[in-house]
């Protein structure tokens, strides 16, 4: 679905400046292209419900989107499944974002050498645009656009760094934990980002991340929070 920024802000009952800032920070499942906001209506409504916000989107002809913007029936949009595919890396070395990116991307078996080089470049370009450090010592690196040519299933790779690094985060805190988010479609990316943002609102969950060593502990916590987000917990 495509709407002007002011229309989206009105539908969410939020100031336009707030919506624009949240888009820049990656806190809301919307992508902005020129003066238009692009999003999946169902995903945005679910995000609004998670954050106790209204979402009154009018029916428009633009509601009918290409297949890429439809909510998939498979588990690509499921955060837990994406995290299980991505796995957990601990004591990741490096003193800067580029070193960490190269280390992590080099360990993604699904990617060819060519696609690994392309992904690293796109991750660095995304950081130059605006930091993916969202605060609380956490960053969510991701390319600006999906990579269907490289992956067919979404991946969320959880990384605990050996040493905190400067990520130019919005709260100026060094980053100790990264969630690399890779998806084959826009709708999948937006939904995963929304679900991960919901999990990271849980301060108790965030506090356990730096000492995380067991992937099963991570998966159990994500499953619990995700059920709460879906109203099943």
Q: pLDDT digits over 130-156, tens only?
A: 899 999 999 999 998 888 878 888 999
> What's the predicted TM-score (pTM) here?
0.71
Task: For domain 75-229, give the CATH number.
Answer: 3.40.930.10
- DSSP secondary structure, the chain, as one string: -EEEHHHHHHHHT--HHHHHHHHHHT-SS-EEETTEEE--HHHHHHHHHHTT----PPP-GGGS--GGGSPPSSGGG-HHHHHHHH-EEEEE--SSHHHHHHHHHTT-TTS-HHHHHHHHHHHHHHHHHS--EEETTEE----SS--TTT-SS-EEEEEEEEEEE----TT-PPEEEEEEEE-SSHHHHHHHHHHHHHHHT-HHHHHHHTT---HHHHHHHHHHHHHHHTT--
Question: Is 2-65 a CATH 1.10.10 domain?
Answer: yes
30 falls in which pLDDT band (50, 70, 90)? Answer: confident
| Domain 2-65 matches domain 75-229 at the CATH topology level | no
Of 43-47, 89-93, 124-128, 180-184, give the lowest mean pLDDT range. Answer: 43-47
Give residue 35's pLDDT. Answer: 73
Domain boundaries defined on the chain: 2-65, 75-229
- Assess whether 216 carries a catalytic annotation: no
Give residue 233's pLDDT. Answer: 56
Mean pLDDT of the chain: 85
Which residue in the list 51, 142, 163, 189 is annotated as catalytic? Answer: 142
71 falls in which pLDDT band (50, 70, 90)? Answer: very low
């Amino acid at each position: 679905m495509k709407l002007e920024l002011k229309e989206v802000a009105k539908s969410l009952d939020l100031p336009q400046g707030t919506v624009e800032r949240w888009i820049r920070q990656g806190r809301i499942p919307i992508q902005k292209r020129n003066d238009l906001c692009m999003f999946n209506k169902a995903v945005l409504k679910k995000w609004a419900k998670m954050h106790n916000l209204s979402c009154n989107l009018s029916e428009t002809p633009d509601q009918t989107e290409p297949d890429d913007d439809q909510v998939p029936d498979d588990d690509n949009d499921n955060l837990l499944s994406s995290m299980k595919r991505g796995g957990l890396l601990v004591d990741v070395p490096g003193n800067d974002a580029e070193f960490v990116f190269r280390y992590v991307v080099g360990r993604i078996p699904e990617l060819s050498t060519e696609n690994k080089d392309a992904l690293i470049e796109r991750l660095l370009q995304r950081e130059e645009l605006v930091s993916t450090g969202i605060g609380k010592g956490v960053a969510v690196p991701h390319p600006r656009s999906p990579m269907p040519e490289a992956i067919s299933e979404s991946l969320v790779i959880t990384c605990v760094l050996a040493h905190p690094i400067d990520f130019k985060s919005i709260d100026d805190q060094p980053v100790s934990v990264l969630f690399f988010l890779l998806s084959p479609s826009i709708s999948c990316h937006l939904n995963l980002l929304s679900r991960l943002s919901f999990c990271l609102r849980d301060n108790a969950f965030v506090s356990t991340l730096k000492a995380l060593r067991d992937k099963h502990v991570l998966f159990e916590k994500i499953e619990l929070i995700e059920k709460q987000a879906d109203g099943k917990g």
